[in-house]
């Protein structure tokens, strides 16, 4: 989708092990901006206070999906704060059913998305189940982490002006600006994954975890979704990239480990 006021995106724990004792703020006294209320307008202070009481150790994150999400968000934001001088923290809003945003009202059918107007990430809590039951992904903790990291990639794109520039091109297709925006966010997710352990919030990230992320990326490729919904693939209608494109760009970020490797607008074909 375009930028400006339009939403972007929507689209046993073994290996992904959380380490830090103070998950919320890494002992610094700060907390990530998270809203579990679903209003899309509040700062989520009450929710994070509750989570602060519940999510104190790495074991909490390994046992609780909500604490695990907090750990992922902390890790992603810690990475970008060190990786990009323009980075500013963003709020993550978790909702069920529907949510009001700076980009308008959204329902669960939208899936996870980023709203440039209010600079918030919105994730429907039911999407992770749909990822398995509707899209056929294996799921797993890192599949969830991939989705979060992808949406934070859109936040970085917004801060750096990529979304604004891409919004002038409303075309679709495998080489369109919209697809390049999505693939850049996939690459940024891989870039974080390659540095996740160094953020101090995650102790171990295995090849099995990466495989789960790649599996999730493939499950929500345009070709896979079109085939499932329509029984045929129409590349001219791509808006997010094919399964192969999404996997390849995630791996580009993960393996090459540089911002330059994720510049999908600097190559002829993606």
216 falls within a domain: yes
pLDDT at 35: 60
pLDDT at 149: 96
Look at the chain and report how many structural domains it folds into. Answer: 1
pLDDT at 52: 54
pLDDT tens for residues 197-213?
Answer: 999 888 889 999 999 99
199 falls within a domain: yes
Q: Which of the pair, 16 or 230, is modelled with greater confidence? A: 230
- Closest C-alpha among 105, 85, 89, 86 to residue 97: 105
61 falls within a domain: yes
pLDDT at 179: 96
For residue 36, what pLDDT band results from cuts at 50, 70 and 90? low
- Closest C-alpha among 40, 135, 20, 139 to residue 94: 40
214 falls within a domain: yes
pLDDT at 26 over 70: no
Cα(187)–Cα(163) distance, integer angstroms: 15
pLDDT at 2 over 80: no
270 falls within a domain: no
15 falls within a domain: yes
pLDDT at 90 over 80: yes
pLDDT tens for residues 106-158?
Answer: 888 888 899 999 999 998 877 777 778 777 788 788 988 999 999 999 999 99
Instruction: State the residue range of the domain holding 240.
Output: 8-263
pLDDT tens for residues 176-187?
Answer: 999 999 999 999
Cα torsion 241, 254, 207, 10 to 10°: value is -30
pLDDT at 267: 97
């Amino acid at each position: 989708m375009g930028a400006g006021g339009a939403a972007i995106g929507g689209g046993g724990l073994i290996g992904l092990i959380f380490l830090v004792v103070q998950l919320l703020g890494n002992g610094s006294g700060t907390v990530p901006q998270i809203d579990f209320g679903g209003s899309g307008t509040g700062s989520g202070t009450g929710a994070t206070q509750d989570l602060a009481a519940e999510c104190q150790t790495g074991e909490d994150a390994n046992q609780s999906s909500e604490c695990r999400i907090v750990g992922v968000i902390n890790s992603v934001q810690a990475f970008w704060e060190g990786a990009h001088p323009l980075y500013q923290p963003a709020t993550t809003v978790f909702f069920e059913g529907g949510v009001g945003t700076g980009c308008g009202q959204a329902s669960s059918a939208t899936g996870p998305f980023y709203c440039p107007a209010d600079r918030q990430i919105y994730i429907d809590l039911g999407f992770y189940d749909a990822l398995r039951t509707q899209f056929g992904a294996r799921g797993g903790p890192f599949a969830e982490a991939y989705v979060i990291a992808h949406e934070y990639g859109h936040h970085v794109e917004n801060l750096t002006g990529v979304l604004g520039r891409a919004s002038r091109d409303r075309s679709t297709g495998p080489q369109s600006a919209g697809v390049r925006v999505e693939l850049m966010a996939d690459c940024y997710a891989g870039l974080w994954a390659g540095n996740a352990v160094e953020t101090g919030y995650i102790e171990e990230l295995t090849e099995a975890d990466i495989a789960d992320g790649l599996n999730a990326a493939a499950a929500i490729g345009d070709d896979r979704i079109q085939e499932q919904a329509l029984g045929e693939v129409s590349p001219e209608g791509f808006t997010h990239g094919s399964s192969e494109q999404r996997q390849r760009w995630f791996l580009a970020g993960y393996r090459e480990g540089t911002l330059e490797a994720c510049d999908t607008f600097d190559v002829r074909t993606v």
